Amino acid sequence: MTRVRDILLPQTDAKPLVDGFQRRISYLRLSVTDRCDLRCSYCMPERMTFLPRKEVLSLEELYRLSLGFIARGVTKIRVTGGEPLVRRDIVDLFRALGRELGKGLEELTLTTNATQLAGYADDLAAAGVKRVNISLDTRDRAKFAQLSRRDVLPQVLEGIAAAKAAGLKVKLNTVALKGINEDEIPDLVGWAHGEGFDLTLIEVMPLGEVEEDRVDHYLPLTEVRARLAQRWTLTPLSDSTGGPARYDRVEETGGRLGMITPLTNNFCAGCNRLRVTATGQLYPCLGGGERVDLRAALRSDDPDANLQAALNEAMRIKPEKHHFDISQRGAEPAQPRHMSMTGG
């Protein structure tokens, strides 16, 4: 079994991460694999080509890299993918990072499709994970099988129940898809709130080639919000989690409803995050092509110093904002990378 050893990084450069637009970076989204056991049609094609394993960072490298970020003031790490729970021995990384909680790291969390969560929820909670984001686009089994191309909704619901039973705070993420789940959105929100879960709706983004034209399923959340407001009283909440979501309280359910609107409402001014792929490529912007190679730094003669230099370079090149456009049929994606590659 792979063991994540304790690696003590020298504090070569303890300057906080601040980019050229004076945005303080405190949040890392760390992809631990590009692989996935589902094939959500808006995310990746059925015949997705995955990376050779040797290109992917080892658990030790992922840990060392995380320590480098924590040394520069990153307080929150979200482990993602692909599907993070398909990575072998991933709990070792959670345990190792969990030991950094309270020592610079304030929050350790993950985004998962929950297919394997039933087997992991207790271990994750024991490692120090308090909250989990779970992607759920529909509670209709046939629709789930069609959308994700795998008939595993029962396992996903079991995973969600296990997370709740383990005491993890659950937030559901739902991509709003025209003609697919749009009619189900009110029921999903009502169910989530009844279970005590927040739910965040997401606009589909033009990232990576898929078989379909995303224009066909793009559903602006401005429309969804207007429809939900006919049914419920939505009170905008001013408290922000520092992320791109805007929140409403649904007065009738008492739950929170988030909306991530990269297309209809640009949120880049408050961006506090960086993304690292499973191969150690740091993308300072989800929608941009700028990149810094952290794997080369990690595998160099002086990994810690070169990692810190690479982080400085990322601060220099982080763009002001993304330029998504999904209005043109047949257009190229904004970026050739799939969301599963960059880490959602």
Q: Which residues bind ligand SAM (CB under 6 A)?
A: 36, 42-43, 80-81, 83, 111-113, 135, 173, 175, 202, 204-205, 207, 339-340, 344
Listed ranges 77-85, 186-194, 241-249, 252-260: which one lies at the site for ligand SF4 (CB under 6 A): 77-85
C-beta closer to ligand SF4: residue 49 or 238: 49
207 binds, among ligand SAM, ligand SF4, none (CB under 5 to 8 A by kind): ligand SAM
Q: What does residue 110 show for φ and ψ, rounded to 5 degrees?
A: -150, 160
- What residue is closest to ligand SAM based on CB? 344
Query: What kind and span of H or E run contains 153?
Result: helix 153-165
How many Cβ atoms are within 10 Å of 165's Cβ, its own excluded?
A: 12
Residue carrying structure tokens 């763009």: 319
Radius of gyration of the chain (CA): 19
How many Cβ atoms are within 10 Å of 9's Cβ, its own excluded?
A: 16
C-beta closer to ligand SF4: residue 45 or 73: 45
Q: Does 39 contact ligand SF4 by CB under 6 A?
A: yes
Phi-psi region of 148 (alpha: psi -120 to 50; beta: other; left: phi over 0): alpha
Q: Does 181 contact ligand SF4 by CB under 6 A?
A: no
Listed ranges 32-40, 66-74, 306-314, 329-337: which one lies at the site for ligand SF4 (CB under 6 A): 32-40
The answer to whether the CB of 298 falls within 8 A of the CB of 308 is no
205 binds, among ligand SF4, ligand SAM, none (CB under 5 to 8 A by kind): ligand SAM
259 has which bridge partners? 201, 246
The residue within the footprint of ligand SF4, chosen from 17, 38, 176, 219 (CB under 6 A), is: 38
The residue within the footprint of ligand SF4, chosen from 4, 32, 36, 207 (CB under 6 A), is: 36
Q: What does residue 247 show for φ and ψ, rounded to 5 degrees?
A: -115, 145
Closest separation between CB of residue 17 and ligand SF4, Å?
27
Q: Does 125 contact ligand SF4 by CB under 6 A?
A: no
User: What would the x/- binding string for ligand SF4 be over residues 159 to 178, using CB under 6 A?
Assistant: --------------------
204 binds, among ligand SAM, ligand SF4, none (CB under 5 to 8 A by kind): ligand SAM
Q: What does residue 229 show for φ and ψ, rounded to 5 degrees?
A: -70, -20
The answer to whether the CB of 298 falls within 8 A of the CB of 280 is yes
39 binds, among ligand SAM, ligand SF4, none (CB under 5 to 8 A by kind): ligand SF4
Write the burial class of residue 236 (CB in 10 Å: 0-12 exposed, 13-18 middle, 19+ buried): exposed
Listed ranges 35-43, 61-69, 250-258, 287-295: which one lies at the site for ligand SF4 (CB under 6 A): 35-43
121 binds, among ligand SF4, ligand SAM, none (CB under 5 to 8 A by kind): none
Closest separation between CB of residue 250 and ligand SAM, Å?
20
Closest separation between CB of residue 24 and ligand SAM, Å?
24
Q: What is the Cα–Cα distance from 332 to 329, expressed in whole angstroms?
A: 9
Query: What kind and span of H or E run contains 100?
Result: none
Q: What is the Cα–Cα distance from 338 to 186, expressed in whole angstroms?
A: 28
C-beta closer to ligand SAM: residue 19 or 34: 34
Q: Does 134 contact ligand SF4 by CB under 6 A?
A: no
How many Cβ atoms are within 10 Å of 229's Cβ, its own excluded?
A: 12
Q: Does 275 contact ligand SF4 by CB under 6 A?
A: no
Which tokens sit at 188? Answer: 């999903």
Q: Does 31 contact ligand SF4 by CB under 6 A?
A: no
Write the burial class of residue 3 (CB in 10 Å: 0-12 exposed, 13-18 middle, 19+ buried): exposed
Single-letter amino acid, residue 156 = V
Residues interacting with ligand SF4, by CB under 6 A?
Answer: 36, 38-40, 43-44, 81-83, 113, 135, 340
